[in-house]
Structure 1
Amino acid sequence: MRVKTIVATLACTLSAITVQAQGPRYISVDEAVTIALQNNSNIKMSKLDEKTANANYHQTDAIFLPQISVGYTAFSTNNPLNAFGFLLQQESVTAMDFDPEKLNNPGSTQNYSTQVEAKLPLFNLDMIYARKGAKAQEEMYKYKTERTEEYIEFEVCKAYAQLQMSYQARDILQKSLEDVEQIHQSVTNFYNQGLIQKSDVLNAQVQVNTIEAALAKAESNIHNASDGLRLIMGMENEREVFVTDSLQQKMALHQTQTLSSYRSDIMALNKAVDATNMMVKSSKMAFLPRINAFGTYNLNDDKAFKFRNDSYLVGIQLSWTIFSGNQNRSKIKSSQFQRDKMQEELNLHIKQSQLDLDKTKRDLNDSQIEINKQKTSVEQADEALRILGNRHREGLASTTDLLMAQAQLSQQRLLLAQTIMSYNITEAYWHFLTKTE
């Protein structure tokens, strides 16, 4: 029963590993990262957000550049005032037009007007600060894109480590299958010689079958792991299996690093705080007067698509909204609350990041201790199997004990590989947490 339990545990552990593939192709982790940075959908979406923020920022160019519009309008009226005004605009007034009868009953009068209108902002402090806020928001999205790229790099390293583990598990099972087949052959020979019972042969065959099933599962896990890596790399349409470097422990060489205020996600939140602060200032500046220049140029004629009799109008306007029904005052408060919220979010994020950093450092130390213990366990299990193998050949150890020792060795090898994979993923996460600009 203990043999079956250990082998079942081995099979269940393997089934927990996920990631896919077909037709082996070697890929290094650096190559996988490079491809992911070019093709990953999350990075593409983040860059689109960045471009959107850039476009929003350039919308504020309007506070410096003129606004020019052109219009063409056709009028027809019998209104005495408008009819006489049309004549003045067309510069076609004659003495006969002052006849009271004609003034009072002008009949149908047409005017075809072409107008070019221009507006030029001169002094709008609220828009100046709104532009600065839009610039800060654009920079925020740049940092968010950078952090997204760093996160995808971590995800690639994680998926790559899982694929390495899948190959390592398959190799361990293949070696285990070879050992169990040798045991099965040896037990069969003993049975043929009448030295042991048939139950020993059956127990050996059961373990061969169990490992063969686990080996098939391991092959599927390799395909699953390759598919997961491919998805992160943005290569969904390909179906080839990736071959990786062998699973080895990576050493974290910079565990003395501290949380940097220049990390991209922290910089992004800082820029978000700056943006909301600029919006507060913009709302306050809305209480100040605005100065804008304007001008129009007109062409009027009594015939369609004729362009004669020009005129212009230019001026400077000072406007000052003294009271807006508390709209500006409430807008200032809303902007201040939003700024305070962003500041609290920044403070909380820094605290959480520091906790993650401290926890990851402890996890690395714990994983290192576990690796050392697992290496010792593998050596001890290997020695135990060697001793029981010798005793079994001499008829001094049971087949069940030998099978149990072999299953225990395979389990310890797999646990060591899993611990190394976990350590490498934690090390990649440590690198992600301590990343700076």
Structure 2
Amino acid sequence: MLRPAITLLLVALFSVAARAGDTPASPRRISLDDAIAIALRDNRTLKAAGFGSEAARDQIGVARGAMIPRLDAGENVSYTNNPVQVFSDLLLQQDFSQKDFTLDQLNHPGFLSNFQSQVRLSFPLFEGGRLIAAYRAAGFAADAERWQVVQTRQSVEFAVIQSYYSAVLAEQRVAVVDRALGAARAHLAQAQDLFAHGMVVNSDVLRTNVLAGTFEQQRIEADSQLGIAWASLAHALGDEDERLAPLEKPAELDAAISPPSQLAGLVVCAAAGRPEINIADSRMKQAQQAVTIARADYLPTVEVAGVYENDTERFARAGNNEALLVTGRLNLFNGLATQSKVDAAQADLSRARVLADDLRHSVALEVETAYRRLVAAQQGLGVARRDNAYAESALKILEDRYGSGLATNVTVLDAQTAREQADMGLVGAQVSVAIDRAALNLAIGVEPEPASGR
């Protein structure tokens, strides 16, 4: 008898251990400021933008390198009996002799090897303004990428704020449903007791059971939405390895509401601070330099180069020569390709100007939209707080009256539903204000306010 008992005990212990292993660890609670700091460190989109900016800065060095002297080394090796090549290589090796003038030697030379080493120093004297324009264009491109990083950072910060408060909302929804479910079950117990004493009919018990079942379904859905919200927050942070969750009820949600600044001033602030506008301005300046580069094909190019050459057959004796070369080139006709390049560059410039102008109007619209949404959200929060107080008082009164037989079960159930809706409305309004405030900051191009300072 002892052995089966021990076996059952071990099985029970292993089952408990297995269930404990399947239970997910509690998440680590972080503040909004901590969440933003994690995202600025780990978010992959922001990291990619940083690499893009670094690559654009390196392109400035490429453009700069085209304007300074260039030093090249080259090596050519030949082994031939081509009469002309052999004759030329003997001269270059400075090893030509009388016997090499015989007709048979000139017409039928033997194989000759030649190791030709060259060092060439070249410098572009004039490129029609192409090189300096390319250098400036690279600088404007780097500016655009630098502002792109700023834009990406602000977008990531907003995404974190949105995900953070969405997770808060999801968790608060679970708490609201739990509270409503607890109240429904308490009312069910009350209805069952009254029914047992013959004070109410059975339909009161059945209707209350239905309401409790509805809350149970909502609890299942709320729990699923909470898991999704936590996963979305982890992705926005760029840290899926650790279970992170927002504070259960951030203090900033209950902070005093400060009205936004005047709309006109916010539009002016956005015109100066939005990174997209700075990106558009940099792209427009880059397009202006592209026009200069295209027009440079109409002008001549001049290059000066110095060459040192060493030619040898067996590395024992070598011929040396030096040269100073000045090379000029001017295209006289290329099938109007240059004109087409200029027209295309000017069209790109016109397009950049139109897009920059349209962007300024779009930014003004975004600021106004975000402003009005925040104002509406703040007003809605005041209404939600008032309705929440009304719903709480009404439910308490009706529950007391139902116990005294002065209120129907239906009115109590309706009050419980209204209380749940009011609770969710209040949490949703608080979260809407927080997100809409962040959206307004994003629209005007400023960093989000620290949560601790709200």
SS of the aligned residue for 2:117 comes to strand
Q: Does residue 151 in structure 1 map to residue 155 in structure 2?
A: yes
Deviation of 1:159 (Å): 0.8
1: CA distance, partners of 2:385 / 2:121:
80
Q: Does residue 255 in structure 1 map to residue 266 in structure 2?
A: no
1: CA distance, partners of 2:84 / 2:273:
69
Gaps of at least 5 residues in structure 1 are 1-20
Q: How many percent of aligned residue pairs carry the same amino acid?
A: 23
Q: Give the TM-score of the pair, scaled to structure 2.
A: 0.86
Counterpart for residue 123 of structure 1: 126
Q: 2:277 aligns with which of 266, 276, 299?
A: 266
The answer to whether the Cα contact below 8 Å between 2:177 and 2:215 also exists between their aligned partners in 1 is yes
Q: 1:282 aligns with which of 276, 288, 293?
A: 293
2: CA distance, partners of 1:267 / 1:353:
12
Deviation of 1:22 (Å): 4.7
Deviation of 1:220 (Å): 2.9
Higher relative CO (CA 8 A, sep ≥ 6), structure 1 or 2? 1
The answer to whether the Cα contact below 8 Å between 2:30 and 2:245 also exists between their aligned partners in 1 is no
The answer to whether the Cα contact below 8 Å between 2:374 and 2:433 also exists between their aligned partners in 1 is yes
Gaps of at least 5 residues in structure 2 are 1-23, 448-454
* Residue deviations 1:115-149 (CA, integer Å, cap 9, x gap): 22332222221121011111101110110111000
SS of the aligned residue for 1:151 comes to helix
Counterpart for residue 6 of structure 2: none
Counterpart for residue 305 of structure 2: 294
1: CA distance, partners of 2:254 / 2:384:
13
SS of the aligned residue for 1:115 comes to strand
User: Relative to structure 1, is the Cα distance of residues 374 and 291 closer, same or farther in structure 2, using a 3 angstrom cutoff?
Assistant: same
2: CA distance, partners of 1:431 / 1:252:
14
SS of the aligned residue for 1:395 comes to coil
1: CA distance, partners of 2:164 / 2:113:
78
Deviation of 1:240 (Å): 4.8
Counterpart for residue 378 of structure 1: 388
* Residue deviations 1:148-178 (CA, integer Å, cap 9, x gap): 0001101111111111112221222222223
Deviation of 1:313 (Å): 1.4
| Number of equivalences | 416
2: CA distance, partners of 1:323 / 1:194:
108
1: CA distance, partners of 2:351 / 2:442:
26
The answer to whether the Cα contact below 8 Å between 2:254 and 2:430 also exists between their aligned partners in 1 is yes
Q: 1:329 aligns with which of 334, 339, 351?
A: 339
SS of the aligned residue for 2:298 comes to coil
User: Relative to structure 1, is the Cα distance of residues 22 and 241 closer, same or farther in structure 2, using a 3 angstrom cutoff?
Assistant: farther
Q: Does residue 191 in structure 1 map to residue 201 in structure 2?
A: no
Q: Give the TM-score of the pair, scaled to structure 1.
A: 0.89
Q: Match of 1:131, as an amino acid? A: Y
1: CA distance, partners of 2:181 / 2:111:
104
The answer to whether the Cα contact below 8 Å between 1:223 and 1:241 also exists between their aligned partners in 2 is no
Between stretches 223-232 and 285-294, larger displacement belongs to: 285-294
The answer to whether the Cα contact below 8 Å between 1:191 and 1:198 also exists between their aligned partners in 2 is yes
User: Relative to structure 1, is the Cα distance of residues 28 and 241 closer, same or farther in structure 2, using a 3 angstrom cutoff?
Assistant: closer
1:299-378 correspondence to structure 2 within 5 Å: 299-303=310-314, 305=315, 308-378=318-388
1:9-408 correspondence to structure 2 within 5 Å: 22-124=25-127, 125-246=129-250, 248=253, 251=257, 253-256=259-262, 257-258=266-267, 259-303=270-314, 305=315, 308-408=318-418
CA RMSD in angstroms, aligned pairs only: 2.1
SS of the aligned residue for 2:208 comes to helix
